[in-house]
């Protein structure tokens, strides 16, 4: 049974049909946190976030407070919100921007105040047409309400927020590619070093990039204090987190639950959450944190949903999306489809990712659709090794960004866990499930 | 004579004014050009080049990177069916095949009546209602072949015109507040704020 | 314990300790230590991007050894690097295999086959068999992306060298990547072809055969080529080049990386004029620039007919001797296309044999020779790194393209402030910190306003702009370089000369880079081919002579009776062609030239000379740098070097120049004047010598991918010398007097009032003009534009004309009809016409419109 007594931090309004409107937001305590923050010193606000140990919700799980403290002090700096959400089976930010855009906007203003940034950008995935309209509406309303613009709520703090639409490219979720897109260019990730946009980011100026969900937590943290947030969860994984559950479960959806206190099994099987597997079949594999993450087998279902807990077992909680495969699912097909995704979304600038992803996809396609050879299985592993040498976790890389080194995750996991399924595809000259 | 209609041209100028550098308005301007023509014509891209201070080759190169921009004309409705992992497990490939039959075109093609262009998309981030279908980037929550056919019929009849505006119209809400202020002005304001803060910190310390 | 002042760091490379300059890229540090790291995207003259991943090496870091791109990582103290480990080898082999996966195996028919780093790497690293069994990526075969360049997308390895060159170096992104992932391709925009004047550089730096140059495609296989290093003389920048030939035919010119000059780049004119050098096999008409003149000719009964050298020299000697009998009866024009040795020989011939001071290597389209020699000279690198650079020139991209690249790099990096005297269009305009609008005739007024005292009828320049520029120039002009030339050929040269002189006096610490355009014009002047000048950049205040225009006047009036024409192109370069023709018709003409030329219609004797790539020697570029040129081909027919022709002609006239060979001429220059010639001629590995400074520069290694795999006939450049080997020991005894600013006088100019009903004529130049070099090459010949009349959009609207409409242009001496073009870089009230292009009916519009005695030319326009 899942532990569901933690407060709802980012989904408290989600049950209202008009949760996205300013009036509902104000009725439910909206913009109070901002008013409160404006009475504090910016450093005090940042200190609360630091105390909360708020880990970034975009994928890498880097503590927001630490990232903020790296922002090089400079007369010009920017805050950029990452709402590109394109990691397959991740749909929590989509939920937040459509259901509670004001919460996001308030979070952004609070962060900007803490960072003393006067220009923020909310980069939203272009395919979120409704989300874009809602967030733009919320920004417009915030201006009218005095929560944005010059001298917010009469304070000496001013801020402009620009809502920037993406245009359909997964790689723009990678923060440096996102910055390139914001500069009006192709989303080519920047080569590192520098490792953090906080050193050189948008227009070469220091820039903090944070995820939509990360921002949405801020009003609550300001109102209740960092310590209250840190009291939830355990270890480094504090607070609650949105998990997007999809695949062969009865009741897929976005669930806000306390970190570490619950396990994968709780999330998948609790009737108030995932509700178990369709037709009560058995779990074959789960992808614990977006398709960039190595898969787990059913033996790890009782692992707690915590950043380090999952990391220690060779995968990641990543973007908070959990995909469940059951015994009817074909792992070769899944690995092929995921690789096809990476191949289509590779930006194309560096060789191993551009050429490797396409080559791997074509081999997997042959295996799945007939024409596979026994030696293809080891070829898959060797080519993967040329992209992520050693096939270790976290991966090493021959590529510029981690999209490349994420490609082998599912291939390596699928072959390690289900090598025989691959051979079966060769013998059967195609997918035995078809 | 500009290629963009005058109200869109004016909107383009407004969008550019939001950003510290002109080129940053590239994606919004391309969306805008697509709102007018449904796709990106060479003339539109040349105008965006002029507006953003780039070359036509750079505009084309940038536009061609992004899936949402069409360099060739497309149907009034761009129908995207997701076949990525969650949708795959829920029958996305089968729904896509069905869509092709209903529309009478293959993936990437346009229906004979020119109304619909069919696309196979990557994950559209709505996986709890899989397989996911979008029309002109609006979620239509259509998961079965029957629902799909009904949707196409509704679109044909114009019954969804409000929910699904023509292809290319991305954001119908116009930005209303806070056009950018000059850096110097903000810097002065910030200096003032910092001085006030320091003064307050000093009094609180005493 | 790092020492702040240290300029080097210690790193361990494959277990060996090496020192490397702070901030150096790992790939360069390794290369200096003799360790070659394979690479494709890295290019030493562009910002590293680290995209191809071929150069991955193991670098020890806090998280253990990781694979890092050597082209992007900079050395840091204590860094430990392994370029040979198994892990590195696997990663590099992996990258190569990925690159080859979709790469066609068409090496036998690929232009790059034999000099292809991908092919070479595959031979070194490749496993030999492919594990890629799928269908390769297919694109439609080569597409023309511009007038000179073709793209084969299947061969492209996405290294981005070409697109980065276009955006970063040329500053004009006419090509860019389009698409994503493995469908990414290089593409121009459909409404703008890749017609940059620098397009050939992308072909040179493409590491595979994806980009090919139309003029070179399929003409030769790399292993048949032999090459020498030389200097390009298509313009006065003097880029270093490798000249390649197969058999006795020129096939290709590549840029060589010279740190002080061209950084490996060339313009397309310099790269693709080869054809015009060899001449066309089927061209025989001596008036046709495509004809290579190979035999002496004399005029008999109105016709030029072939003659022996003996006959021709005798005829020439007679003409010259007769003319020289009258004081002022003989003179020479031309010489800018010669080597220094050739120019020296003719300079001596004129003074010592003909006793004439009437000599001029310019055609009235340059600047006063004494002024040029008196200005404190800046180098290209100084201009490119100056705190402030002020351009008082035409559009450098059209006139001196690689100088444009060098200046652009400095200005674009933010290190240099650019101030433009904006008389006409300029490709640098967008980068300028201050643009001072200069209407025709007002250059000197603006300079005067800058120099302090306000001009009486002040030009309309913004006072705030002037203040900014004064601030940038400082009190004495220290750190300031003025790039000076003739922006507007319709403006009397005295106007800009006055401006230059005023600025030079006002800013004594500023230096000047003369933007003279033609080949070796600087060398010709240094060898004394102008009135009052002497070999060795010398000056003789005691004499005066006629410059080119004065000679034409004297020829037309009969005062001067004979003309020695040194090189072709006179009629293509003077602004008043009709007048020049009259002059030539009246006089005895001895022409010394290698190519056919319209002016030979008036020649009485034609002496065939060797041309570039057929002769060795030295040349001097606009900054005063003396470098060597090399002979790659044997001269055709019985063409002789200018040194030999001058010597033999002198003998014929009973005098002895003592210049028995090019080497002796070089030695004599050096011994008698101190001007470097022999030491440069025999030491081409140096970057040359800047006269007056005698600096020698450390040479940057060639990009190993710039000229890969080609056998060099003479790797240090010179074709074998005939005759005795000369000793390098030259005693420098010569000393000549240098011109100083005090020696310079310029015309006193009265600027006519501005006529509100007329437009002032602006005449600028284009790279692809109708000149010999361009029209002589079929690839470039098609790029010559026809003459238009350009206006800015306000004047265009006022005229009520649309682009392309024909308008009647009424000048002081007649009218012409020209189509109108739009150019918003022209000021209001200014009408722009391009020099050296032809109107639709083949006429030279400027002959009618120009008035070379006027300070400015006013024209009126009428629509039809
Ligand atoms: C290929 C790739 C895709 C990514 N996509 C997203 C995304 O869609 N949304 C997101 O917030 N972060 C994404 N990230 C992570 C961002 O680079 C960045 O770490 C994050 O936005 C930082 O925000 P946070 O610290 O609040 O998590 C992606 C990273 C990579 C490498
Ligand atoms: S790893 Fe892939 S997505 Fe990342 S930079 Fe390289 S090509 Fe682009
Ligand atoms: S990545 Fe270093 S040479 Fe290409």
Answer whether C51 contacts ligand 3 (Cβ < 6 A): yes
Give me the percent of chain C exceeding a pLDDT of 90: 70
Identify whether the C-beta of residue C376 lies closer than 8 Å to the C-beta of residue C539: no
User: What whole-number distance in Å separates Cα of residue A338 and Cα of residue A319?
Assistant: 16
Instruction: Note the helical H segments in C519-660.
Output: 521-526, 548-557, 570-573, 577-586, 642-652
CB contacts under 8 A, A 371-400 vs B, are: none
> Looking at the complex, does the CB of residue B55 fall below 8 Å from at least one CB of chain C?
yes
Q: What is the mean pLDDT of residues C98-104?
A: 93
User: What whole-number distance in Å separates Cα of residue C324 and Cα of residue A31?
Assistant: 99
Chain mean position to CA A206? 22
* Tally of CB atoms within 10 A around C385: 18
* DSSP per residue, A178-209: HHHHHTTS--PPPPSSS--TTTS-GGGS-EEE
Q: Which atom of ligand 3 is nearest to the CA of C41?
A: 4
Tell me: do A63 and A195 sit in the same domain.
Answer: yes
What pLDDT score was predicted for residue C729?
56
Instruction: Please report, for residues A220, A379, B191, C27, C349, the alpha-carbon distance to residue A118 in angstroms, rounded to integers and kept in the order given.
Output: 22, 52, 12, 41, 75
pLDDT exceeds 60 at position C393: yes
What pLDDT, in 10s, does the model give residues C111-145?
888 888 888 888 877 666 789 999 898 898 899 99
C53 CA to centre of ligand 3 in angstroms: 5
What pLDDT, in 10s, does the model give residues C175-195?
999 999 999 999 999 989 999
Question: Could you give the angle at the alpha carbon of C430 between the alpha carbons of C427 and C434, nearest 5°?
Answer: 110
> Looking at the complex, does the CB of residue A86 fall below 8 Å from at least one CB of chain C?
no
Tell me: do B101 and B50 sit in the same domain.
Answer: no
Predicted ipTM of the assembly: 0.96
CATH code of the domain containing B15: 1.10.10.1590
Q: What is the mean pLDDT of residues B88-111?
A: 97
Query: How big is the A-B interface in CB pairs under 8 Å?
Result: 201
Q: What is the mean pLDDT of residues A386-394?
A: 96
pLDDT exceeds 90 at position C774: no
Does B56 map to a domain? yes
What pLDDT score was predicted for residue C99?
95
E-strand stretches of C260-401 = 297-300, 303-306, 330-334, 359-360, 388-392
Identify whether the C-beta of residue B116 lies closer than 8 Å to the C-beta of residue B126: no
- Cβ pair C184:A389 closer than 8 A: no
Nearest CB neighbour to A329, from listed B89, B138, B183: B89
A122 CA to centre of ligand 1 in angstroms: 13
Instruction: List chain B residues with CB under 8 Å of C190.
Output: 42, 60
Does A6 map to a domain? no
> Looking at the complex, does the CB of residue A356 fall below 8 Å from at least one CB of chain C?
yes
Per the structure, the complete domain to which residue A369 belongs is given by: 331-428
pLDDT band at residue B197 under the 50/70/90 scheme: confident
pLDDT exceeds 50 at position C728: no
Tell me: do A210 and A254 sit in the same domain.
Answer: no
**Beta pairing class for A78-83 and A207-211:** parallel
What pLDDT score was predicted for residue C33?
93
Nearest CB neighbour to C182, from listed A354, A366, A387: A354
Q: Supply A271's token pair.
A: 């009737």
Tell me: do A221 and A256 sit in the same domain.
Answer: no
Q: What is the mean pLDDT of residues C718-724?
A: 37
In b/e form, how buried is each residue of A308-341, taking b as 16+ CB within 10 angstroms? ebbbeebbbbbbbbbbbbbeebbbbbbbbbbbbb
Closest to C197 (Cα-Cα) out of C263, C257, C147, C241: C147
Tell me: do A250 and A364 sit in the same domain.
Answer: no
* Nearest ligand for residue C53 CA: 3
Residues with CB under 6 A from ligand 2: A 171, 189, 346-350, 353-354, 399-401, 403-404
Domain stops at, among A266, A301, A326 = A326
- Residue B77: CB partners within 8 Å, gap ≥ 6? B115, B116, B117, B135, B136, B155, B164, B167
- Cβ pair C188:B46 closer than 8 A: no
Nearest CB neighbour to A186, from listed B19, B65, B130: B65
Tell me: do A35 and A155 sit in the same domain.
Answer: yes
Q: What is the mean pLDDT of residues C202-227?
A: 86
What pLDDT score was predicted for residue C1?
43
What pLDDT, in 10s, does the model give residues C320-364?
999 999 999 999 999 999 999 999 999 999 999 999 999 999 999
pLDDT band at residue C733 under the 50/70/90 scheme: low
CATH code of the domain containing B104: 3.40.30.10
Mean pLDDT of chain C: 90
Domains held by chain B: number = 2
Least confident residue range of C3-7, C30-34, C139-143: C3-7
Sheet with C689-690, side-by-side order of all strands: C617-620, C625-629, C689-690
Tell me: do A80 and A223 sit in the same domain.
Answer: yes
Q: Which atom of ligand 2 is nearest to the CA of A171?
A: 3
Per the structure, the complete domain to which residue B105 belongs is given by: 77-156
Tell me: do B28 and B83 sit in the same domain.
Answer: no
Number of H helices, E strands in chain C: 27, 36
Tell me: do A148 and A107 sit in the same domain.
Answer: yes
Q: Which residue from A181, A389, A399 has its CB within 8 A of the most atoms of ligand 2, so it is best to mutate?
A: A399
Q: What is the mean pLDDT of residues C425-442?
A: 95
**Beta pairing class for A283-287 and A207-211:** unpaired
Domain stops at, among B65, B86, B101 = B65
pLDDT band at residue C693 under the 50/70/90 scheme: low
pLDDT band at residue C839 under the 50/70/90 scheme: low
CATH code of the domain containing A59: 3.40.50.11540
Tell me: do A164 and A34 sit in the same domain.
Answer: yes
Tell me: do A223 and A248 sit in the same domain.
Answer: no
CATH code of the domain containing A242: 3.10.20.600
- Cβ pair C189:B65 closer than 8 A: no
Q: Which residue from A185, A349, A351 has its CB within 8 A of the most atoms of ligand 2, so it is best to mutate?
A: A349
Domain stops at, among B32, B65, B98 = B65
Does A93 map to a domain? yes
Does B181 map to a domain? no
C135 min Cα distance to partner chain A (Å):
9
Tell me: do A225 and A265 sit in the same domain.
Answer: no
Identify whether the C-beta of residue A224 lies closer than 8 Å to the C-beta of residue A104: no
Atom 4, ligand 2: residue with shortest CA distance? A401
End-to-end CA gap in chain C: 81
Instruction: List chain C residues with CB under 8 Å of B59.
Output: 189
Least confident residue range of A195-204, C212-221, C535-544: C212-221
Q: What is the mean pLDDT of residues B63-91?
A: 97
Residues with CB under 6 A from ligand 1: A 56-60, 62, 82, 84-87, 171, 173-175, 209-211, 214, 401-403
The two most distant CA atoms of chain A are separated, in Å, by 73
Instruction: List chain B residues with CB under 8 Å of A166.
Output: 27, 66, 68
What pLDDT, in 10s, does the model give residues C274-312?
888 888 878 889 998 889 999 999 999 999 999 999 999
Mean pLDDT of chain B: 93
pLDDT band at residue C89 under the 50/70/90 scheme: very high
Tell me: do A46 and A177 sit in the same domain.
Answer: yes
Does B23 map to a domain? yes
pTM beyond 0.90: yes
Least confident residue range of A60-69, C499-508, C729-738, C809-818: C729-738
- Cβ pair B86:A182 closer than 8 A: no
User: What whole-number distance in Å separates Cα of residue C269 and Cα of residue C768?
Assistant: 7
A348 min Cα distance to partner chain B (Å):
10
pLDDT band at residue C712 under the 50/70/90 scheme: low
What pLDDT score was predicted for residue C141?
84
Instruction: List chain C residues with CB under 8 Å of A351.
Output: 51-54, 95, 98-99, 157-158
Domains held by chain A: number = 3
Give me the percent of chain C exceeding a pLDDT of 70: 92
What pLDDT score was predicted for residue C494?
94
Does B41 map to a domain? yes
The subunits that touch chain B, with at least 3 C-beta pairs less than 8 Å apart, are A, C
Least confident residue range of C383-392, C712-721, C758-767: C712-721
pLDDT exceeds 70 at position C725: no
Q: What is the mean pLDDT of residues C82-101?
A: 96
Domain stops at, among A177, A210, A230 = A230
What pLDDT, in 10s, does the model give residues B150-180?
999 999 999 999 999 999 999 999 998 876 6
pLDDT exceeds 60 at position C596: yes
> Looking at the complex, does the CB of residue A223 fall below 8 Å from at least one CB of chain C?
no
Tell me: do B86 and B41 sit in the same domain.
Answer: no
What pLDDT, in 10s, does the model give residues C405-419?
999 999 999 999 999
């Amino acid at each position: 049974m899942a532990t569901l007594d933690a407060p709802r931090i980012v989904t408290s309004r989600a049950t209202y049909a008009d949760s996205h409107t300013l009036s509902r937001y104000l009725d439910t305590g909206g913009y109070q946190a901002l008013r409160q923050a404006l009475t504090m010193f910016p450093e005090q606000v940042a200190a609360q976030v630091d105390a909360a140990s708020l880990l970034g919700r975009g994928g890498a799980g880097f503590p927001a407070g630490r990232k903020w403290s790296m922002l090089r002090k400079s007369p010009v700096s920017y805050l950029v919100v990452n709402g590109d959400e394109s990691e397959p089976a991740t749909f929590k930010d989509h939920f937040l921007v459509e259901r509670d855009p004001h919460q996001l906007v308030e979070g952004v203003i609070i962060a900007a105040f803490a960072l003393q940034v006067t220009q923020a950008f909310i980069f939203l995935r272009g395919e979120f047409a409704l989300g874009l309209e809602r967030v733009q509406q919320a920004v417009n309303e915030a201006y009218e309400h005095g929560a944005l613009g010059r001298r917010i709520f009469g304070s000496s703090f001013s801020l402009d927020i620009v809502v920037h639409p993406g245009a359909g490219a997964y790689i723009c979720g990678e923060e440096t590619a996102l910055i390139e897109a914001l500069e009006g260019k192709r989303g080519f990730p920047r080569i590192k070093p520098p490792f953090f946009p906080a050193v050189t980011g948008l227009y070469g100026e220091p820039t903090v990039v944070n995820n939509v969900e990360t921002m949405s937590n801020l009003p609550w943290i300001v109102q209740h204090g960092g310590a209250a947030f840190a009291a939830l969860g355990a270890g480094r994984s504090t607070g609650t987190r949105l998990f997007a559950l999809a695949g062969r479960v009865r009741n897929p959806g976005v669930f806000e639950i306390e970190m570490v206190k619950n396990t994968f099994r709780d999330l998948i099987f609790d009737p108030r959450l995932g509700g178990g597997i369709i037709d009560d079949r058995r779990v074959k594999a789960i992808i614990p944190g977006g398709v960039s993450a190595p898969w787990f087998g059913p033996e790890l279902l009782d692992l707690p949903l915590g950043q380090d807990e999952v990391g220690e077992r060779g995968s990641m909680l990543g973007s908070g999306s959990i995909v469940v495969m059951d015994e009817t699912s074909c792992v070769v097909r899944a690995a092929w489809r995921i690789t096809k995704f990476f191949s289509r979304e590779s930006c194309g600038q560096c060789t191993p990712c551009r050429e490797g992803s396409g080559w791997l996809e074509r081999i997997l396609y042959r295996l799945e659709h007939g024409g596979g050879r026994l030696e293809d299985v080891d070829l898959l592993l060797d080519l993967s090794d040329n992209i992520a040498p050693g096939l270790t976790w976290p991966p090493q890389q021959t590529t510029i960004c981690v999209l490349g080194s994420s490609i082998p995750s599912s291939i390596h996991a699928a072959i390690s866990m289900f090598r025989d399924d691959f051979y079966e595809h060769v013998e059967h000259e195609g997918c035995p499930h078809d | 004579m500009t290629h963009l209609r005058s109200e869109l041209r004016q909107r383009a100028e407004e969008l550019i004014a939001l950003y510290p550098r002109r080129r940053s308005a590239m994606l919004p301007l391309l969306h805008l050009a697509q709102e007018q023509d449904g796709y990106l014509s060479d003339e539109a891209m040349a105008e965006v080049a002029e507006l953003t201070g780039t070359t036509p080759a750079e505009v084309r190169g940038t536009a061609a990177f992004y899936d949402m921009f069409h360099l060739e004309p497309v149907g009034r409705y761009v129908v995207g069916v997701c076949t990525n992992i969650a949708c795959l497990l829920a029958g996305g490939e089968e729904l896509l095949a069905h869509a092709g039959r209903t529309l009478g075109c293959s993936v990437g093609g346009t229906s004979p009546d020119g109304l619909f262009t069919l696309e196979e998309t990557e994950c559209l981030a709505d996986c709890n209602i899989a397989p996911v279908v979008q029309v002109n980037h609006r979620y239509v929550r259509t998961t079965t072949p029957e629902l799909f056919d009904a949707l196409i019929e509704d679109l044909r009849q114009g019954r969804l015109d409000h929910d699904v505006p023509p292809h290319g119209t991305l954001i119908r809400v116009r930005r209303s507040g806070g056009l950018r202020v000059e850096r110097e002005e903000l810097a002065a304001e910030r200096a003032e704020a910092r001085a006030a803060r320091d003064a307050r910190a000093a009094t609180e310390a005493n | 314990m790092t020492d702040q002042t240290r300029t080097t760091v210690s790193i361990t490379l494959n277990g060996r300790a090496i020192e490397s300059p702070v901030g150096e890229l790992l790939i360069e540090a390794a290369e200096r230590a003799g360790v070659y790291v394979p690479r494709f995207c890295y290019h030493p003259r562009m910002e590293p991007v680290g995209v191809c991943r071929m150069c991955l090496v193991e670098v020890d870091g806090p998280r253990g050894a990781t694979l890092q791109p050597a082209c992007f990582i900079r050395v840091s103290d204590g860094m430990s690097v392994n370029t040979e480990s198994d892990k590195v080898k696997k990663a590099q082999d992996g990258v190569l295999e990925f690159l080859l996966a979709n790469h066609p195996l068409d090496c036998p028919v690929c232009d790059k086959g034999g000099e292809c780093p991908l092919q070479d790497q595959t031979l070194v690293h490749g496993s030999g068999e492919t594990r890629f069994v799928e269908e390769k990526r297919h694109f439609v075969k080569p597409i023309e992306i511009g007038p000179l360049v073709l793209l084969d997308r299947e061969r492209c390895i996405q290294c981005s060298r070409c697109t980065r060159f276009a955006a970063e170096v040329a500053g004009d992104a006419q090509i860019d990547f389009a698409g994503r992932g493995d469908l990414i391709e290089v593409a121009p925009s459909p409404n703008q072809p890749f017609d940059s004047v620098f397009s050939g550089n992308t072909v040179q730096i493409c590491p595979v055969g994806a980009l090919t140059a139309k003029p070179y495609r399929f003409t030769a296989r790399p292993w048949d080529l032999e090459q020498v290093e030389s200097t390009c003389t298509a313009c006065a920048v003097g880029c270093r080049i490798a000249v390649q030939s197969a058999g006795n035919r020129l096939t290709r010119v590549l840029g060589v990386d010279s740190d002080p000059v061209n950084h490996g780049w060339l313009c397309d004119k310099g790269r693709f004029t080869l054809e015009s050098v060899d001449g066309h096999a089927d061209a025989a008409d001596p008036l046709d620039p495509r004809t290579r003149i190979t035999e002496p000719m004399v005029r008999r009964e109105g016709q030029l007919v072939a003659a022996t050298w003996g006959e021709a020299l005798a005829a020439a000697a007679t003409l010259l001797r007769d003319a020289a009998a009258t004081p002022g009866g003989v003179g020479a024009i031309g010489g800018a296309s010669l080597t220094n040795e050739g120019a020296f020989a003719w300079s001596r011939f004129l003074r010592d044999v003909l006793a004439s001071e009437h000599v001029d290597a310019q055609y009235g389209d340059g600047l006063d020779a004494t002024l040029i020699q008196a200005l404190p000279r800046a180098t290209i690198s100084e201009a490119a790194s100056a705190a402030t650079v002020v351009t008082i020139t035409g559009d450098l991209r059209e006139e001196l393209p690689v100088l444009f690249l060098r200046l652009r790099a400095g200005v674009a990096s933010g290190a240099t402030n650019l101030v433009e005297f904006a008389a006409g269009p300029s490709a640098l305009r967008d980068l300028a910190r201050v643009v001072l609008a200069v209407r025709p005739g007002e250059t000197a007024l603006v300079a005067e306003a800058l120099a302090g005292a306000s001009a009486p009828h002040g030009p309309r320049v913004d006072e705030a702009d002037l203040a900014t520029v004064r601030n940038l120039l400082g009190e004495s002009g220290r750190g300031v370089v003025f790039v000076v030339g003739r922006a507007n050929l319709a403006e009397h040269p005295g106007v800009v000369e006055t401006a230059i002189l005023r600025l030079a006096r006002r800013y004594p610490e500023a230096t000047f880079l003369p933007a003279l355009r033609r080949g070796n014009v600087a060398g010709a002047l240094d060898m004394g081919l102008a009135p009052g000048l002497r070999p060795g950049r010398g000056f003789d205040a005691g004499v005066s002579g006629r410059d080119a225009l004065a000679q034409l006047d004297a020829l037309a009036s009969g005062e001067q009776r004979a003309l020695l024409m040194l090189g072709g192109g006179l009629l293509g370069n003077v602004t008043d062609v009709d007048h020049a023709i009259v002059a030539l018709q009246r006089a005895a003409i001895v022409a010394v030239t290698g190519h056919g030329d319209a002016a030979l219609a008036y020649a009485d004797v034609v002496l065939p000379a060797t041309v570039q790539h057929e002769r060795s020697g030295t040349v001097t570029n606009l900054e005063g740098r003396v470098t060597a040129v090399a002979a790659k081909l044997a001269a055709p027919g019985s063409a002789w070097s200018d040194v030999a022709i001058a010597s033999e002609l002198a003998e014929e006239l009973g005098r002895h120049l003592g210049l028995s060979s090019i080497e002796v001429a070089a030695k004599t220059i050096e011994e008698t004047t101190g001007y470097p010639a022999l030491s440069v001629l025999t030491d081409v590995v140096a970057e040359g010598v800047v006269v007056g400074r005698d600096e020698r520069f450390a040479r940057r290694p060639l990009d190993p991918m710039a000229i890969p795999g080609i056998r060099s006939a003479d790797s240090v450049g010179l074709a074998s010398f005939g005759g005795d080997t000369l000793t390098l020991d030259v005693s420098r005894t010569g000393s000549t007097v240098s011109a100083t600013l005090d020696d310079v006088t310029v015309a006193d100019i009265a600027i006519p009032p501005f006529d509100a009903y007329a437009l002032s004529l602006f005449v600028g130049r284009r790279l692809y003009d109708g000149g010999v070099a361009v029209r002589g090459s079929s690839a470039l010949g098609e790029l010559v534009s026809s003459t238009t009349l350009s206006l800015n959009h306000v004047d265009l609207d006022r005229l009520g004309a649309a682009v392309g409409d024909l308008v009647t242009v009424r000048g002081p001496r007649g009218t012409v009809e020209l189509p109108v073009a739009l150019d918003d870089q022209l000021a209001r009230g200014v009408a722009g016409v391009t020099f050296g292009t032809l109107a639709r009916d083949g006429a030279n519009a400027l002959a009618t419109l120009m008035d070379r005695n006027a300070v400015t030319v006013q024209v009126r326009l009428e629509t039809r």
